[in-house]
Chains A and B, each alone.
Chain A
């Protein structure tokens, strides 16, 4: 049932909330990363907290430093990096999802003897425990899919 947006009697006034965002969508194979980025910008712009954006499943591909975005397509990589730099939110990439998709930082590239490391600045490779920590510490968790 649609109510009016804004405070209603049924929902308490939550003021500023802390969010965890999960991104399952890779740039180009879906729109989810772009939607998540726009959502994240509005979130922080509205005074809410965003500690961590967690990139899982195909979302791990957002951490690739080697993408070249064509002119008419939004560079979501730069978008995420700018958000992280300006608002201090962490861009966390699940290590298991990253490895199987060929997204490796220097440490993992050395460990697995791969020719190149390719994670973009501001993205950190983490374990699933970091996702759990984030949801436990936040008020709301939203997943962006394809």
Chain B
């Protein structure tokens, strides 16, 4: 069977409810079932890339740590919107994990190259 390509589109801030960890859980399970999983972070979701997050202090799972664990699940393709980063004063070099920065046009192409897109 052809390997399905799944893209997880994250737009929420990392601690906006527990939506981002929940959505990441689904992506991890998909990867464990051998779907080809990629992640795209836009808008406030890019704050999930900040290093030094300590969400245990507010009784939550730390999104930065969840992202660090992605390669253990063979999720290597993490993309981020360049405009979302720069408009929030962040830089790709400062992120908790290595990310591939995409322009809006490249993001449009990214959607088109996947079979399924999930949300937070």
Find the B residue at minimum CB distance from A20.
Answer: B116
Interface assignment of A44: CB less than 8 Å from any CB of chain B = no
Q: Does A116 contact B (CB under 8 A)?
A: no
Alpha-carbon separation in the docked complex, A136 to B119 (Å)? 17
Cβ contact within 8 Å between A129 and B119: no
CB pair A57 B23 closer than 8 Å: yes
The distance in angstroms between the C-alpha atoms of A127 and B30, with both chains bound, is 12
- Distance (whole angstroms) from the CB of B118 to the closest CB of chain A: 6
Q: Are B26 and A24 in contact (CB under 8 A)?
A: no
Q: How many residues of A contact B (CB 8 A)?
A: 17
Residues in A whose Cβ lies below 8 Å from that of B56: none
B interface: dominant SS: mixed
Question: Is B1 a contact partner of A56 (Cβ separation < 8 A)?
Answer: no
Give the chain A neighbours of B119 by CB distance below 8 A.
24, 143, 145
**Residues from chain B with Cβ under 8 Å of A143 in the complex:** 117-119
Near A by CB (< 8 A), chain B positions 1-24 give: 1, 4, 6, 18-19, 22-23
Q: Which residues of A contact B25 (CB under 8 A)?
A: 96, 128
| Nearest-neighbor residue (CB-CB) of B9 within chain A | A143
Residues facing A in B78-120 (CB within 8 A) are: 115-120
Q: Find B29's partner among A97, A100, A129 (CB 8 Å cutoff).
A: A129
Partner of A97, one of B22, B30, B117: B22
In the complex where A22-B118, A24-B119, A143-B118 touch, is A132 in contact with B30 (Cβ < 8 A)? yes
Instruction: Give residues 50-65 of A contacting B (CB, 8 Å).
Output: 56-57
The chain B residues found within 8 Å of chain A, CB to CB, are 1, 4, 6, 18-19, 22-23, 25-26, 29-30, 33, 35, 115-120
